[in-house]
Structure 1
Amino acid sequence: MRLVKTITAVAVATVLLGGCQATSSERAANDNQAAVVQQLPEVNIPYEMFTLDNGLRVIVHTDRKAPIVAVNVWYAVGSKDEQVGQTGFAHLFEHLMFNGTENYDDEYFGPFERAGATDMNGTTNNDRTNYFQNVPTPALDMALWMESDRMGHLLGAVTQEKLDEQRGVVQNEKRQGEAQPYGRVFGFLAEQTFPEGHPYSWSVIGSMEDLNAASLDDVHQWFNDYYGAANAVVVLAGDIDVETAREKMETYFGDIKAGKPLKKLNSWVAKSTGTKRATMEDNVPAARIYKVWNTAELGTEDSTYLELFNEILAGGKNSRLYQRLVYDEQIASMVSGFQYNRILAGQFFVIADAKPGVELERIEAIIDEEIAKLLQEGPSQEELNRVRYSSVASFVRGAERIGGFGGKSDILAAGEIYQGNPSAYRDEMATLSAATPADLQAAAERWLTDGAFVLNVVPQPKYTTAQTGADRSKLPEVGQLPELDLPELNTFTLSNGLEVALAERHDVPTVQMSLVFDSGYAADVGGKMGTASFTMSMLREGTAKRSALDLSRELEELGTNLSTSASLDSSRITMDSLITSLEPSLDIMTDLLMNPAFDATEIERKRSLWLEGIKKEKASPQQQALRILPSLMFADDHPYNAPLTGSGTETSINSLTRADLVAHAETWLRPDNARLVIVGAVTEAEIKPLLEQYLAEWQAPATAAPVKQFPEVARFNESRVFLIDQPGTPQSTIIAGQLAPSGKVDNAEAIDVMNTVIGGSFTSRLNMNLREDKGWSYGARSSWVQADAEGLLLALAPVQTDKTKESVLEILAELNGYIGDEPATAEELDKVKANKTAKLPGAYETKRALLSAIVDMLEKGKDMTWLEAYGQRVNSLELDEIQAVAADVIRPDALTWVIVGDLEQIEEDIRSLNLGTVTKLDTNGNPID
């Protein structure tokens, strides 16, 4: 059986070595005695080191006391070298290294057991993976052959069967560990004490999800990335000399590839501030407290000082906490602690188990009290001498052995891998020997005065279950759903001609309103793209009497949310105010409406940010496609021939002037081109006088209100393909677009339901095919863009690059089947009906949701009766109606395909589909060549 240690406290094993004398400093506050000399035992580990031409480092220590040789192979790879989503790889691969090689495809332990090997194991921690064994001297060639064979000749023997087998072993190891009392603690602590993405923020053993996802290709890549000769150290210790070692190492390891160059972090302490707390219930025998601080990394003087400080505080029966909690007050059954040293960061642990009936808060208070006392007074010289000598004694006893944990080969390998120096123990010995109580005190001050994480692990309460329960033989049916009952909509007109629609809702004392203008991106036609969006955004950037910061400050003081925006067909000023703040909020809203400053400095600041936003849109495959698609669907003189993001182009935004913004506002933001919709705890009698007061000066100009013109759109009779290159991307983004009916058509519910079945929900056909069945995409969907004029029907699927062609074929197959021999089914229709109607009672719970629905309703020329009858209209839809709408709307033979991906990998495949004319576009949508 192989034992794998996923957490090792390297502290004692690597820290110290005697061989010289240390002078202690005077500690007047405690015993006022003169400095004394502490005699430490002497240990020496002589070695010679050489490097093969392939970068493999070899360390040789000769010790002839027994005819055995320790072979210790360390790879500079651990769980810290994994990526989010691929955790557990280092440990999983360590298991695979014991399952045979290309030239010895059998259980690795066999030859060693027959040769009488001892201290044989392999382990993984955050920073390294090691494999070690002691073998009789005559078996050294066998051991080196085996170790070199798995370093250089492994992958041919790593099969899917072996991966699945060891994956199961590791997962059972994880289950076994987590089934132990407190077995889930260290994984949780890793997540909570380091920031997301930090290499120590996940456990060495990894997550079940990541282990399940590990593919054979992933595992092979891991070996190729990290198991090269240049990323390894081999220590030979015992009955061996450097000449013999060099000859044998050249023979067995000299032909192994160096491996790829690697990038590695050197330090990331992630020191915290404040105190963070958590409680975990578990099947544990006693309540336990863990108190943890992020501290200095391995190899620093502070890490050594903190080890000694921890020993004085919590290391054994003579420690201050053990004596106080276990002996004196007898409220704890166990106290321990350690400084957990690793390459990137250390952690200082204090752990205590409460006796029955004792609150963990009482134990924590004493922990804090004893730490505070040590911080204030410092440790005594006697305490420092005691823990220093004990630590050195442990080190000396370990160094008696040539192999195994804490043996000489282990010490030398750790020094080289962790600190680039086999003699690193000497530096730590020097720090340890010269350490004074003041050094320990100062280090603790630096690291333990802030940033603690406190975890209380408490026994899970004993729950009981009833003898009987619900009938599980069938799913209960949903009862009669309540009818939708919306407030009445009261409409009136202000003296300036502004139409107002008010729905009263007095549940909480707030008012929400949206001033909607018939403009939007479509108003930019004939002008500069992005003007509408830019103008609406600039309204929040200051007025004639309020700067942008003044606006933000006043709104924050009033507790009011005020936003400005533009969409395809409309622009809006939306406000959410408390009743008590309504009047001053209206003052601000009307100020930015009627007196926008359009300050030149603010315009340039906004322009700079806006252009950066366009760059980001172009960098996103989906947004890039949505920017370009409208220009492929609509003629130049059509209002919808503009990026669907509304942001315009670099050229148009760079050319915008203050005069353009003023002209847009004066042309489109006028009361006879607007409607104010209000939902809230206010009556007409209360709100109308306020509106008249604050909007009295907002008058329509003498000229007629503008009207957007929508020329007839020519429909395409054949498919076209447009390709946009994004080299190196691992995904292709596929959009298939076509013209569709306006959102104002009478059968809009039927079109919406039809779209939901094919691609408008998680369980739609497109998503179930490409995500759930094929696993080629994280999500595929279709969307109906419900515009005032012609709409768009879009199918969208980001897919893995090597399945681009196949995904296009699947999308086509789904669309053709939907209007052909696989039309919508009664089951699909019933499912969509149930979903859309069952959620209606809660759909308008908030004022914001009701406000949005009323705005949309009024733009379509409908009333509240129509809105309330939505569920009835959906439920009345018949299957043949859905099938007929699909056949009428969907045109798989006349799609406009926009595909963004690595054209070097996908272009030839796309062209081979013969979908239609293929055109390559640049990032601005211009044809290439």
Structure 2
Amino acid sequence: MRLKNRHAVLALAIAAITCSVAPTTAFAAKNNAPAVDIPYQQFTLPNGLRVIVHEDHKAPIVAVNIWYHVGSLNEPAGRTGFAHLFEHLMFNGSENHPGDYFPPFEQAGATGQNGTTNTDRTNYFENVPTTALDMALWMESDRMGHLLGAIDQGVLDEQRGVVQNEKRQGENQPYGQVWNVMTKTMYPKGHPYHHTVIGSMSDLDAASLDDVKTWFRTWYGPNNAVLVLAGDIDLATAKQKVARYFGDIPASPTMAVVKPDPAPLKESGRTVLQDKVPQVRMMRVWNVAQTGTRDSDMLDLFAQVLGGSASSRLDRRLVYQDKLVDSVSVSNDASQLSGNFIVTAMVKQGVDPKKVEAVIDEELQKLLREGPNADEMSRARTTFTAGFIRGIERIGGFGGKADALASCTIYTGNPGCFRTSIANVQGASAADVAKAANAWLKKPSHVFVIEPGARKALAEDPTVKPAPFVVPKVDPKYKTIASDVDRKTGVPKVDSFPTLTFPTMQRGTLDNGTTVILAERHEIPVVQMNYLFNGGYSSDSGGKLGAASFAMGMLREGAGTRDALTFKSAAEALGAQLGSSAGLDGSSATLSALTSNLDASVDLFADMLRKPTFNPSDIDRVKATRIAGIRQEKAQPTTSALRVLPPLLYGEGHPYAMPLTGSGTEASVATISRDDLDAYRRAWVRPEGATLVVVGDTTMAKLLPVLNRHLGDWKGDGVAPKAVNLPTVALPSKPRVFLIDQPGAVQANIIAAELVPSTRDAGAVKLSMANDILGGVFSSRLNMNLREAKHWSYGARSMTVDAQGQRPWLAMAPVQIDKTAESIAEARREISEYATGKHPASQDEVTKVVNNELRGQPGAYETAGAVLGTMTGIVRYGRPDNWIQVRNAQIANLTPAQVAEAIKTIDPNALTWVVVGDLSKIEAPVRALNLGEVTVIDAGGKAAVGKK
């Protein structure tokens, strides 16, 4: 009887919920670009929770995206970092679900699960199978309404440690210190943006359990949140389920919204920092208009014209004409109170940064005076619209439809504010853009210069005692509604799951002999294609390392009658994205085209493949940039390790014994000539035996004539080379340790590696699943140990790198510097006990990774890009067209015994360890582990002089 009464109360409450339907006016871009819109409906619960619903039934998944209107701007002095700390705490369990939040989602096949914090808001999001929506809403509502009882001192200390390692990880990167300095410089003390989102370690250390709970009671109520449900759902279902799970949660106080305060600088300034970096980075920053304003939209367009693309004013002048920088970019980053307009330039070695600054100012002032021309405005509008279209292919995740709706609601109160921005952009005149830019960019700015030198640790501000705070009373207008959910029974079980429907792979053949494979996807008006060729990094063996990557990159630097800038401008005008790159065993050329511009885009794509100019001056320019990029790789901890690792694993002379990035060495790239680049193109970029994989808004009947018109008569030069011979390498007989010095580092980057069989190997699927248990998912053994249990790392993981021959298996973890040896010991123990069978996979662990993989596939294949990636793998590794079904059958039948056999592939006594960190702090403790022979090497992989 009680149950019936509670259902009746709930039904009446749902009927009383306010509801409005948003108009579905679509905004068409100029130049015949496709219409853009995200239709939505909305309602509000009596407790103040605002809910936005968008229907998209292309896949049986729902994006659940909840935004709390609290960020670092709400933190008082002495409590910086609280909003971000709470993002972590809310993943650590609730009163009715103790323990980490990830396992139920992993079991249900959730994809894209994450949470983020910025200056203005905190959000949590995941895509779940439609059948798992009740579980997801239960989980999100439980941490909203039932969190505090689950937070004790141990949980606080654990997540505080994780956050502090995240902070160290950011600051440990080259140029990483500048962001902390920038926030303090750009905004005066007392401004909500004066401190970083991650906050002060001193404040985090000073935080008490009572402080943390008071923070939660103040900000995390339903009336301070927006919930977006997008995907395979309708309004009636959303109203019923949201009311049931969230309706009984009491509101929190109504806190005052901080008013916008762009805080333009009173005077211009300059700050110089030293860091262990290979070249100067210069950043010029203005405080400008906040998000949701027309001026901010106009500044987006101005940024695009000034330095937002390869054909922008600053790129033309600094990269192509004067050749003073290796790269330059401009962004307009708008937030709730203010925006930052940022010009960033990577200054070439030997160039005076002030000379670069002078050119930037000259081009800026010219654009402010004259405004953009008609072509620049057209390209900027098209780029803006095409980017939005590509972003909203996804229902959830970063930048998807749910994100757009939630962001608009939080920042402007209008879920459809994106329509206003689109209309602003499409209706803007050059005069409008110039007017807004003049209003903001003639104000003072600040220049930050990071130059090579000895890094100095940033001093932490001492914590201060916060002002007394009493949680205000809740507005009596907010009411709760009864719920029939018995939370003591735990998380709702998910008993059924949708199955994946992988699109049919249609096959055709071009007149030039290329095989075409098409999967139709008509959700957005975009066609994506990937032309697959042989060659790749391995073909550099015996020649000049980096030639394959260099040659493929040069295809985009001018083709046919167009020079580099004209070629890139033509692509931008079409809203097309063209790419070309090399991998370990092959190379590829990619095109993403708006359906309406497919023919013209393929025409440009064909020129890129058939008629690259390889202009000598462009080769010299790109060569200098690639050499600078290699120096940057050496300065970055992870890539410095990945550069030296393959030669250690494969031995000198093996085709794979080169930097894993494929960039080559400074010496080898310096010797690469035009003839070398053209020789690679003629040998490997050829239609015979190639495959063109296509996914998107077209049919084979429409596609083949377009492709044949531009590519049908293309023929390769001469005889195609034979495939690269890949000899088998014996594993080392004992572990080895290689150390790379990174003076001043606050973290050490640890990699353990070993060679395993090819991606083509019959046991590859089972090894992949076995690896998931060790380090392939969030709840893996390595991550739960080093991050969650020990909180020595922000994250630990393991993976394999795809290859036709033996391939690297890697376990990786950045850890706090004073726990380097301890972390290596724990990682070694986890790997050894698992691989030797001392701690074999349990049935629960196997079930977890199997369910996560199979049940997550409808969400994993939401986008055309994901489908394209799998089809590319099918071609590269000779798999059958029904590979998804073949692979899934292996996974579905996986047993602990099979996992135990598969993980034996990893021999703990054959591991190669590479550790990058400050050797003055880590060398002695690492040597004391007696893990194996220890060798100190430099960033080029050579033994350091006088060190072993």
What is the TM-score with the length of structure 1 in the denominator? 0.54
- Work out which of the residue numbers 778, 802, 807 in structure 1 matches 2:818: 802
Aligned partner of 2:635 in structure 1 is: 619
Aligned partner of 1:691 in structure 2 is: 707
Aligned partner of 2:868 in structure 1 is: 851
Does structure 1 residue 893 correspond to structure 2 residue 929?
A: no
More deviation, 686-695/588-597: 686-695
Shift of the alpha carbon at 1:582? 1.0
- Work out which of the residue numbers 718, 721, 746 in structure 1 matches 2:737: 721
Mapped partners of 1:448, 1:590: distance in 2: 41
Shift of the alpha carbon at 1:84? 7.8
After superposition, the Cα gap between the structure-2 partners of 1:84 and 1:600, relative to the gap in structure 1 and judged at 3 Å, is farther
Aligned partner of 1:917 in structure 2 is: 933
Shift of the alpha carbon at 1:459? 9.9
Aligned partner of 2:768 in structure 1 is: 752
Shift of the alpha carbon at 1:529? 1.0
Does structure 1 residue 842 correspond to structure 2 residue 859?
A: yes
Does structure 1 residue 294 correspond to structure 2 residue 309?
A: no
Output one character per residue of 1:445-478: Cα deviation in whole Å (capped at 9) or x when no partner: 9999999xxxxx9997933222223232132221
* Paired residue type of 1:800: Q
Does structure 1 residue 469 correspond to structure 2 residue 484?
A: yes
Aligned partner of 2:682 in structure 1 is: 666
Aligned partner of 2:418 in structure 1 is: none
* Paired residue type of 2:483: T
After superposition, the Cα gap between the structure-2 partners of 1:681 and 1:917, relative to the gap in structure 1 and judged at 3 Å, is same
Considering only CA atoms, is the larger Rg found in Structure 1 or Structure 2? 1
Shift of the alpha carbon at 1:542? 0.4
Does structure 1 residue 767 correspond to structure 2 residue 787?
A: no
Mapped partners of 2:882, 2:196: distance in 1: 56
Shift of the alpha carbon at 1:685? 2.2
Gaps of 5+ in 1: 1-78, 89-163, 172-189, 218-280, 299-348, 350-444, 452-456
* Paired residue type of 1:468: S
- Are the equivalent residues in 1 in contact too, given 2:536–2:582 (CA < 8 A)? yes
* Paired residue type of 2:478: Y
Aligned partner of 2:313 in structure 1 is: none
2:882 match: secondary structure: helix
Output one character per residue of 1:83-128: Cα deviation in whole Å (capped at 9) or x when no partner: 986999xxxxxxxxxxxxxxxxxxxxxxxxxxxxxxxxxxxxxxxx
- Work out which of the residue numbers 547, 565, 570 in structure 1 matches 2:586: 570
Shift of the alpha carbon at 1:201? 4.5
Shift of the alpha carbon at 1:688? 1.6
Output one character per residue of 1:879-910: Cα deviation in whole Å (capped at 9) or x when no partner: 110011112x1111111111111112222222
Shift of the alpha carbon at 1:703? 1.6
Residues 164-203 of structure 1 aligned to structure 2 (within 5 Å): 200-202=190-192
After superposition, the Cα gap between the structure-2 partners of 1:897 and 1:206, relative to the gap in structure 1 and judged at 3 Å, is closer
- Work out which of the residue numbers 799, 805, 808 in structure 2 matches 1:792: 808
After superposition, the Cα gap between the structure-2 partners of 1:878 and 1:548, relative to the gap in structure 1 and judged at 3 Å, is same
Mapped partners of 2:254, 2:634: distance in 1: 54
- Are the equivalent residues in 2 in contact too, given 1:594–1:698 (CA < 8 A)? yes
1:679 match: secondary structure: strand
After superposition, the Cα gap between the structure-2 partners of 1:83 and 1:462, relative to the gap in structure 1 and judged at 3 Å, is closer
Shift of the alpha carbon at 1:295? 6.6
Residues 642-661 of structure 1 aligned to structure 2 (within 5 Å): 642-661=658-677
- Are the equivalent residues in 2 in contact too, given 1:672–1:705 (CA < 8 A)? no
After superposition, the Cα gap between the structure-2 partners of 1:208 and 1:569, relative to the gap in structure 1 and judged at 3 Å, is closer
Mapped partners of 1:496, 1:605: distance in 2: 34
Shift of the alpha carbon at 1:774? 1.1
Mapped partners of 1:841, 1:657: distance in 2: 47
- Are the equivalent residues in 2 in contact too, given 1:673–1:705 (CA < 8 A)? no
Mapped partners of 1:853, 1:666: distance in 2: 28
After superposition, the Cα gap between the structure-2 partners of 1:209 and 1:508, relative to the gap in structure 1 and judged at 3 Å, is closer
After superposition, the Cα gap between the structure-2 partners of 1:81 and 1:599, relative to the gap in structure 1 and judged at 3 Å, is farther
Gaps of 5+ in 2: 1-74, 85-152, 161-179, 208-250, 268-336, 338-437, 445-471
Residues 387-536 of structure 1 aligned to structure 2 (within 5 Å): 462-472=477-487, 473-536=489-552
After superposition, the Cα gap between the structure-2 partners of 1:600 and 1:80, relative to the gap in structure 1 and judged at 3 Å, is farther
Output one character per residue of 1:866-887: Cα deviation in whole Å (capped at 9) or x when no partner: 2244333211101110011112
Output one character per residue of 1:254-276: Cα deviation in whole Å (capped at 9) or x when no partner: xxxxxxxxxxxxxxxxxxxxxxx
Mapped partners of 2:478, 2:569: distance in 1: 52
Mapped partners of 1:716, 1:757: distance in 2: 25
Mapped partners of 2:441, 2:692: distance in 1: 58
Shift of the alpha carbon at 1:863? 2.7
In the TM superposition, structure 1's runs of 4+ consecutive aligned residues that sit over 6 Å from their partners are: 79-84, 190-198, 203-209, 295-298, 445-451, 457-461
- Are the equivalent residues in 2 in contact too, given 1:87–1:206 (CA < 8 A)? no
- Work out which of the residue numbers 879, 883, 893 in structure 2 matches 1:876: 893
Aligned partner of 1:103 in structure 2 is: none
Aligned partner of 1:582 in structure 2 is: 598
- Are the equivalent residues in 2 in contact too, given 1:634–1:640 (CA < 8 A)? yes
Shift of the alpha carbon at 1:82? 9.6
Output one character per residue of 1:706-763: Cα deviation in whole Å (capped at 9) or x when no partner: 3111012122111111111112211111111111111111222211111111111111
Residues 151-300 of structure 1 aligned to structure 2 (within 5 Å): 200-202=190-192, 210=200, 214-215=204-205, 283=253, 290=259, 292=261, 294=263
Aligned partner of 2:750 in structure 1 is: 734
Mapped partners of 2:785, 2:888: distance in 1: 29
Mapped partners of 2:440, 2:604: distance in 1: 49
- Are the equivalent residues in 2 in contact too, given 1:511–1:681 (CA < 8 A)? yes
* Paired residue type of 1:862: R
Aligned partner of 2:654 in structure 1 is: 638
1:652 match: secondary structure: helix
After superposition, the Cα gap between the structure-2 partners of 1:878 and 1:533, relative to the gap in structure 1 and judged at 3 Å, is same
After superposition, the Cα gap between the structure-2 partners of 1:767 and 1:448, relative to the gap in structure 1 and judged at 3 Å, is closer
Shift of the alpha carbon at 1:198? 6.4
* Paired residue type of 2:892: N
Mapped partners of 2:889, 2:475: distance in 1: 50
Does structure 1 residue 927 correspond to structure 2 residue 943?
A: yes
Q: RMSD between aligned alpha carbons?
A: 3.9
Q: Which has the higher contact order (CA 8 A, sep 6+)?
A: 2
* Paired residue type of 1:670: R
- Are the equivalent residues in 2 in contact too, given 1:521–1:569 (CA < 8 A)? yes
How many percent identity over aligned positions? 39
